[in-house]
Amino acid sequence: MILTAEASWKAAEDHGTVDFLLQAGARVEHLRLEDRDIHGNGHAMMRELNSDAIAGVLAEWIEGQGLA
């Protein structure tokens, strides 16, 4: 899983990483925070004021994969 924040310097290129991994046969999902109504975050998401909401997105994904 690749998690992208809309204000990250990687936001413009993460889709390319996902495409590369898919082409290589890897199983990958691309989660974009803005698609979950979490806006304005940069690359260091764990340091943002709303890091608890981001942790919730990660926990939900981990549980959905049966990894929790």
Each residue of 16-31: pLDDT tens digit?
999 999 999 999 999 9
Q: Give residue for tokens 């290129």.
A: 13
- Domain range for 27 is 2-64
Cβ-Cβ contacts under 8 Å for 59 (sequence gap 6 or more): 68
Give the model's pLDDT for residue 68: 77
Give the residue-averaged pLDDT of 28-36: 96
Give the residue-averaged pLDDT of 42-58: 94
* DSSP state letter for 25: T
Each residue of 4-14: pLDDT tens digit?
999 999 999 99
Q: Domains in the chain: how many in total?
A: 1
Give the residue-averaged pLDDT of 48-64: 96
- Give strand ranges (E) for the chain: 2-4, 30-32
Q: At 64, which helix (H) or strand (E)?
A: helix 51-64
33 CB-contact burial (10 Å; exposed 0-12 / middle 13-18 / buried 19+): buried
Per-residue pLDDT band for 66 (boundaries 50, 70, 90) equals: very high
